[in-house]
Structure 1
Amino acid sequence: MRVIVRTVSELCVTVGAVILLFVVYVLFWTGVKADRVMDGQIEELQEQWAHQQPARPSGGDPAASGTESAPAVTVTPRAPANSRATDAPVAPGQAAPYRDGKAFAIMYIPRLGSTWNKPVLEGTTTSTLKKGLGHYAGTAGLGQPGNFSVAGHRRTYGDPFKDFPELRRGDAVVLTDGATWFTYRIDRGPYKTVPTDVEVIDPVPRKSGYTRPGRYLTLTTCDPEWGHSHRLIVWAHLDSTQPVEAGQPEALRR
């Protein structure tokens, strides 16, 4: 009996230690590694931009898809008739496709902190989302007509969208591809939906309030904070663009 009790006790201690180590790995170490990777992605982009003009894909109707990995969410926004996105300036640049798994832009969201900036990569696979935010393949290019849609983890792998629920209408979401600054303004969100709602990344998402074609942005992440049974969505319209040579946009100078 003593041998049985001792053995069971040792097994419990071992299992407890393994669980503790796993929690530390998930909560801490994946974040440390992801922060290093994301910083590296940004440094590579900035170095690339210093030597060449970044390529930008041409516009085109983005196709909604429900095959993305867990953090990738799809909800359909409907644009208000008075949305300025339709009248936003056309983004300059030579058309070219984004490369799968490669970073092509940097996103800034002042609401989430003055030091918050994340690389945006093409695709929403698990391996891609470990390195930053992921652009839904098939949706519009940055600043182009349609719906530029991006997914990100809420927790683990750097917690890029940990404070996603704090986003509010009117908040700025600023992106750059090294040649142009793109400032989007949030119109609706965070909106809660289920992963099977694959219309969030439609060219004109139905539940966004948008009613006509424009230049839109959709951000998606998981909900609840440590689960993925639902998705949180934010919709925005392209408010303005300006060349990088003109300096940072006003939203980043406040």
Structure 2
Amino acid sequence: MSYDPPPAAGRPPGWRPRPAPEQPTTFLPKIDVLDTEPLGGRFAHEPEEDDTGRIDDEPLESPPPPKDTARTVVRSFGELFITAGLVILLFVVYEVYWTDLISAGKQNQATSSLDTKWKDQDTVGGPQRGTHYDLAEGQGFAKLYVPALGADYHFTIVEGTTDADLDIGPGHYIGSALPGQPGDFAVAGHRVGKGAPFNDLDLISSCDAIVVETVTDWFVYRMLPTSDEVSGWAAGKGAQPQCKGVAPLGGPYAGLVGQETVLPSRGDVIAPVPHKQDLQLPAGQEASLMTLTTCTPKFSASHRLILHAVLTNQYAKDPKQPDKVPPELKETD
């Protein structure tokens, strides 16, 4: 008979100890947690670069927008036009305003010198009468008034038509007739900038007075009829009092009108008989004309605006009444 040991205190009868588990005969390899070999993918301890050079845990960037070539071209042209506009604006300011200031100073100096010369001649014993003029290029020798352009319109006329001469004021074409003489007394002037003495030349109408003062005399020229006034002149505008002595010219001057536009090459407009450069009339058959020339249209030199006027009156200056002026100077608008 077998012997069962008494149960231990607190153990139920029939208790048997649980047999110990069998020990495994195969062991898993030990993992070295200090191994520094990095794991790839999401187990990596350090961020890895992909084959594009981007670190895989950096946020993705949006791709740059495609270039708009048309917008770039428009922007470039816009900047170019703005720059060109500023350059043009500066040029206009210089040409219209700055050169006016410079020419105004030169014109004032020329007028002052001419006044002094005339005063000195009066002091010596009176100016020499006749057709003698003390001419020197760039120097003033007469004064120009156009009452229709305002009571304050007056300029000293200098000898010569070079750029330097016209910077001073209206310039007399060298070799053309002198004030009051038979032939064509021709004068040029700027229309824009540099004093712009002939800026409003196109506003002069037929029969308007163009008065020239010299050391001894006042000469009054009046503009000839325009092309659309020739027909019916006598019964029309020609009947007005101020048009006395003004009429369409005949003979070698037939067809000459008060205002015309020509190319710059038409130098024959200032010939003794305008438009007939080679025609020479016998003494006593030449008319006493005055021709004014300037550029047209404004801000352009493509053409020339021409005004033709005829001598209608002459007044000798009275040394005893130096302030006496011809009545035509009062014909202001």
TM range (shorter): 0.7 to 0.9
Letter in 2 for 1:160: P
Task: List alignment gaps of at least 5 residues for structure 1.
Answer: 1-7, 57-91
Segments ≥4 residues shifted beyond 4 Å: 8-19, 53-56
Residue matched to 2:115: 46
Distance 2:79 2:308 in 1: 52
Closer, same or farther in 2 for the Cα pair 1:55/1:136, shift >3 Å?
Answer: farther
Closer, same or farther in 2 for the Cα pair 1:10/1:118, shift >3 Å?
Answer: same
Residue matched to 1:142: 179
CA contact (8 A) 1:55 1:93 kept: no
Identity %: 38
Residue matched to 2:292: 219
Q: Does 1:93 align with 2:130?
A: yes
Task: List alignment gaps of at least 5 residues for structure 2.
Answer: 1-76, 225-256
Closer, same or farther in 2 for the Cα pair 1:165/1:15, shift >3 Å?
Answer: closer
Residue matched to 1:82: none
Say which of 205, 217, 222 aligns to 1:180: 217
Letter in 2 for 1:44: S
Q: Does 1:122 align with 2:159?
A: yes
Distance 1:21 1:199 in 2: 37
Distance 2:312 2:78 in 1: 62
Q: Counterparts of 1:32-71 in structure 2 under 5 Å?
A: 32-52=101-121
Deviations 1:105-141 (CA, angstroms, capped at 9, x unpaired): 1100011111010111111001100000010001011
Shift of residue 18 of structure 1? Answer: 4.6
Q: Which moved more, 1:31-40 or 1:153-162?
A: 31-40
Distance 2:91 2:153 in 1: 27
Closer, same or farther in 2 for the Cα pair 1:21/1:140, shift >3 Å?
Answer: same
Pairwise CA RMSD = 2.8
Normalising by the residue count of structure 1, what TM-score does the alignment of the two structures yield? 0.75
CA contact (8 A) 2:138 2:159 kept: yes
Residue matched to 1:151: 188
Matched residue of 2:222: which SS?
strand
Residue matched to 2:168: 131
Letter in 2 for 1:249: P
Normalising by the residue count of structure 2, what TM-score does the alignment of the two structures yield? 0.58
Residue matched to 2:327: 250
Indicate the structure (1 or 2) with the bigger Cα radius of gyration: 2
Distance 2:150 2:133 in 1: 32
Distance 1:15 1:196 in 2: 32
Q: Does 1:166 align with 2:203?
A: yes
CA contact (8 A) 2:118 2:127 kept: no
Matched residue of 2:270: which SS?
coil
Shift of residue 206 of structure 1? Answer: 3.5
**What is the aligned residue count?**
214
Closer, same or farther in 2 for the Cα pair 1:37/1:199, shift >3 Å?
Answer: same
Shift of residue 203 of structure 1? Answer: 0.7
Shift of residue 45 of structure 1? Answer: 1.0
Distance 1:11 1:202 in 2: 47
Shift of residue 250 of structure 1? Answer: 1.0
Letter in 2 for 1:248: V
Greater strand share, 1 or 2? 1
Matched residue of 1:248: which SS?
coil
Distance 1:229 1:55 in 2: 42
Matched residue of 2:269: which SS?
coil
Residue matched to 1:197: 266
